[in-house]
Structure 1
């Protein structure tokens, strides 16, 4: 009998096990994020496990501690907020770019505000979390520069930086929270406020744009 010709299902079993483990990991992360949206307090491992439908042991099999889970959740959220469509819409006219930028930014703020607050409240001395906060801030600035490149190109370097920073402050997570939570504006009303304010901050659009 030629044993070398006997097929073995082991690779398939291993692949299936990896897929299940990856799915469990994703569901644990999503449970963590869902709990944060409901309550600003960082959830416990038991709460995450219950929401995900797994045991606490399953949580700690995927993450050595809650800090590692927080970092993984941040990376997951960043990837979701920066999918390939995040760079779309920068070639339209001024009003189209304003609408695309503001509505996408508003959706990100509405979706990820609880995580952003948790990150800043619990970053402590964690270099990993501080690095991720810096990466997120840099991505926001880069998108502003991309969306309003025609207008910004007409400014001096100092004026350009000042304008970008002013827009960044305007579309901050907490700016969105104030409009929605304190002033009670609807999603569309909040977007309208941002669009008008950014439009006034920007210089005239060059005639060839």
Structure 2
């Protein structure tokens, strides 16, 4: 049997394959960018056809890169997470736990304002998607756990009080103020600070 030829393929053969890979990566990135752009412009439930049109690719190309819309939502979530991670990872500042909660409130206002259109979009589709429903529940759990980590033991033991703080600092409260009450970001932030200050008044400073 003749031995196999293991010599490198000629450069002229390698270039087309590299070119196809580069075009594939470019199409993938354009599809994700199109999804982000559509949602940012208020299209809460964009279709694959809309994404394809904005990305400038064929509909079949969308599903060649993403087996379903859930896969595209995963990519969108990863892109948004990369934007907010530096804010999330910075420890809250303040001499007291109350002061740190006000810092968390200010930080969440920035985060929620950044992710609002994308989170609303995911929430619209979560009743049709087990993946998005699980993501929604995970977000609620992470919000509560992140807040609880900065509460004294006696506050965590006050279940009603701790749950109230979680509601005040939640994305759903921010969305209600911004969308349902149509407040500007600074107005919504002022309402959150007022509610938080009123709630914290029940506990001694420290």
In the superposition, the TM-score normalised over structure 1's length comes to 0.73
List aligned pairs for 1:103-122, cutoff 5 A.
103-122=106-125
User: What residue number does 2:135 align with?
Assistant: 132
List aligned pairs for 1:1-209, cutoff 5 A.
21-81=24-84, 83-94=85-96, 97-124=100-127, 126-146=129-149, 149=150, 152-155=151-154, 157-159=156-158, 161-202=159-200, 203-206=203-206
Tell me how far 1:205 sits from its aligned partner: 3.5
Please give the root-mean-square deviation of Cα atoms over the aligned residues, in Å: 3.3
Q: 1:5 to 1:177 in 2, by over 3 A?
A: closer
Q: How many residues align?
A: 198
CA contact (8 A) 1:74 1:132 kept: no
Q: 1:158 to 1:38 in 2, by over 3 A?
A: same
> d(CA) in 2 for partners of 1:101 and 1:37?
25
Q: 1:5 to 1:61 in 2, by over 3 A?
A: closer
Q: Deviations over 1:129-150 (max 9, x none)?
A: 222112211221232224xx2x
CA contact (8 A) 1:31 1:51 kept: yes
Tell me how far 1:182 sits from its aligned partner: 4.1
Where structure 2 has 5 or more consecutive residues not aligned to the other structure, the ranges are: none
